[in-house]
Amino acid sequence: MIDPICVHDSLPCMHTPDEVRRLLDDLDVVPADELEGQDLDFKEWITRSRNDALNQVVEYAVCMANGGGGTIVFGVRDRVIGREQAIIGVPPEIDINRLKRVVYDSTDPKLTPVFEELRVPEGTGRLILMQVHYGIPPYTDTSGHAKIRVGKDCQPLTGTLRRRISVETGENDFTAGELPGHPESHISAAAMEMLRTSAEREHAPDEFLELSDVDLLSSLGLIRSGHITRAGILLAGKERSICQHLPNSGWTHLRMVDDTDYSNRMDGQNAILVAIARIFDRIMADNPITTLKQGMFHFEFRRYPEIVLREALMNAFCHADYRIGGPVIVRQYPDMLEIGNPGGFIGGVSPENILHHPPVARNPLLVGALMQLHLVNRSNLGVPRMYKAMLIEGKEVPVIREQGDAVTVLLKAGEFSLPFRVFVEEESETGKGLTVDHLLLLAHLLRHPEVDTHTAASLIQRSEREVRDVLHEMETVRGYLDRGGTGRGTYWVLRPDLHRRLMAPGHPDRDRRIDWEAAKTRVLSVLRQRASRGEMGLSNAEVRQITHLDRYQVVRLMQQLQEEEPQISLKGKGRGSRYFYQE
């Protein structure tokens, strides 16, 4: 994906005509659908009816506005491979000023997207870009109908999604609700002391910590007009008050024997920091310290790094939907740990963009108070910290899943990699500290023979332009990688000396490399044999089965093979295309 231009970190990104023009070159390799995202969509212009075409423009303006804004490119088929086949264009008589008026007149509240023209050599010669800027949803057309952008799709704006929007915009913060009774009757002295101790450890302002319990909670906005809020009792409440006023909250820790049975269980309804401490202690009972030495380095590590556990637990309690029945559940297996909370992702966050997406708070009052105490941050550093802590030890990154109306973080115990940990430490001491991007790419290349820009962009959740910069730096400045191929067929591998250094002696993958020439020889042999028998050629999927490469590697391999063997040709379009050998 081309790197879009963002006006502000918390706002959506607009894709300029130049960025879209560069994206169009990829249509020779992938369909437009694979280039789409939360803030980018390609649509074929409807030619059968002008009214239908205008209605489509209004529909997608509303959809994108409700989804946070973005760019719609009209005039491109999204399921076809090949620029000439995919780019149909928009008829020359379509006036962009009229499109602006139609959208304005047909939406409520009024939308004023920016329309831009992009000249292309294919089709009618012009595409139209509709830039829909960030606003305050929900938006509908003047008949009250609406859709919302969710990932790459426009979905009906149902009651559930409308409620989610109200949560995201802060109009419906459940934790901000005020509770009856004197605040003192709800406050737990033990919870308040834990709150102060944790905040002091994180260097929260002294003026907060020196206040009385009621004054501290009032300064944080947790006591309003003489009444404590739900957020207040979540942070400092007695168990009795939490059970009475937040009956759906709570936590469960299970020591699992297998997928269906557990050997030990504990449940609770405590203030958040008390709950986290109790769960943490139970996990740590089966999370011993191991010490390893390598030269001048002395490493102590656990099956699950402490920072990962604390971040994952804090995220679970902060982002839980306390209106939904169900506790924060921690399932501790012999070799993995699951931490789940009720409430799905909101605000466009997904497992595919969570590393860099601006933070979105389901419970703004609760999270705002924790921010003031320095117990959570405003910069979405929690998930990257979890990734980094696992990666520097050579372990797999957390697996984050959305399952229905819940989010689960899966941590795999894995093996500690002493060679990798030493490498990270040595690089840090020479001033070449490794970022999460570097660590993700190195970890991938230790498990896979190579990486291309498309795969790398998905892996580190950045645009292809950004990932090319990272890979170039890792190749030319740091000396970690070697590059092969050209153009869209470019790929990167670990340099052999670094690969051997990071792989433990005796590891079965220590000397693994793609035998590219052997793969080409094998495919060429099969094509010749099939041609001699008068049989059909090979599809991309069939070449993948023969070579065990992925789709993009097969495209690159076959391009090289066609250059070397003029007898090989590609016939057909899209999924029906096949490679043939002709004498």
| Structure confidence by residue, pLDDT tens digits, 18-55 | 999 999 988 988 899 989 988 899 999 999 999 999 99
- Antiparallel, parallel or unpaired: β 126-132 and 140-141: unpaired
Whether 510 shows a pLDDT value over 60: the answer reads: no
Question: What is the structure's pLDDT at 324?
Answer: 82
pLDDT, mean of residues 400-413: 92
The one-letter amino acid code at 428 reads S
Average pLDDT over residues 219-242: 95
Residue-wise pLDDT for 256-281, tens only, equals 999 899 999 999 999 999 999 999 99
Q: Tell me which of 339 and 248 has the higher pLDDT.
A: 339
Domain segments of the chain as ranges: 5-168, 174-245, 418-502, 516-581
Indicate the pLDDT class of residue 9, thresholds 50, 70 and 90. very low
Architecture label for domain 5-168: 2-Layer Sandwich (3.30)
Q: State residue 90's pLDDT score.
A: 96
Fold of 418-502: Arc Repressor Mutant, subunit A (1.10.10)
Q: What is the mean pLDDT of residues 350-377?
A: 89
Lowest mean pLDDT: which of 88-92, 173-177, 285-289, 356-360?
A: 356-360
Q: For 556-568, what is each residue's pLDDT tens digit?
A: 888 889 988 999 9
CATH topology match: 418-502 vs 516-581: yes
Question: What value does the mean pLDDT of the chain take?
Answer: 88
Average pLDDT over residues 495-508: 76
Topology classification of domain 516-581: Arc Repressor Mutant, subunit A (1.10.10)
| Per-residue model confidence (pLDDT) at position 378 | 62
Query: 419-452 b/e with 16+ CB inside 10 Å = b?
Result: bbbbbbbeeeeeeeebebbbbbbbbbbbebbbbb
Res. 554 pLDDT band, cuts 50 70 90: confident
CB 136 within 8 A of CB 169: yes
Question: Is residue 382 classed as helix, strand or coil in its secondary structure?
Answer: helix
Give one DSSP letter per residue of 450-467, joined into a string: -EEHHHHHHHHT--HHHH
Residue 583: pLDDT over 90:
no
The terminus-to-terminus CA distance of the chain in angstroms comes to 39
Most confident by average pLDDT, 118-132, 475-489, 495-509, 563-577: 118-132
The arithmetic mean of pLDDT across residues 463-491, rounded, is: 86
Q: Quick one: pLDDT at residue 179?
A: 93
pLDDT at position 186 is: 96
Span of 82-91, 155-164, 524-533 with lowest mean pLDDT: 155-164
174: burial class by Cβ within 10 Å (0-12, 13-18, 19+)? middle
What DSSP letter does each residue of 161-221 carry, written as one string? Answer: HHHHHHHHTTTT-GGG-B-SS-GGGTB-HHHHHHHHHHHHHTT--HHHHTS-HHHHHHHTT
- The mean pLDDT of 408-425, rounded to a whole number, is 92
Higher pLDDT, 528 or 168: 528
pLDDT at 5 over 70: no
Angle at 399 (CA atoms; ends 397, 403), nearest 5 degrees: 170
Quote the percentage of the chain above a pLDDT of 70.
92
